[in-house]
Amino acid sequence: GFQTCVLANHWVDDSAGRLLTARLLALLRRRFQLLLESCRIGMAKPEPGVYWHALAALGVKPHQV
């Protein structure tokens, strides 16, 4: 009955090591209902907007988490 979410504070990885990052993100996507990447949503922790975005994406209200 629980939903889980990862809030990843990172930038788009165009380095030589990006394959490792991509594998890690793929693993996280399989384990969690939602993976939010700051580089994709345009907000980062600890900005309040990132948490509101996560709540909306999960379809829950603050008192439910």
DSSP 13-28: --STTHHHHHHHHHHH
Residue 16's pLDDT is: 82
What topology is assigned to 5-64 in CATH? Rossmann fold (3.40.50)
Name the strand (E) or helix (H) holding 29. Answer: helix 18-31
pLDDT in tens, 8-60: 988 877 888 788 888 988 999 999 999 999 989 999 889 999 999 999 999 99
Phi, psi of 19 (to 5 degrees): -65, -40
* pLDDT at residue number 22: 86
pLDDT tens string 33-43:
999 999 899 99
Phi, psi of 64 (to 5 degrees): -90, -5
Q: What is the pTM of this model?
A: 0.78
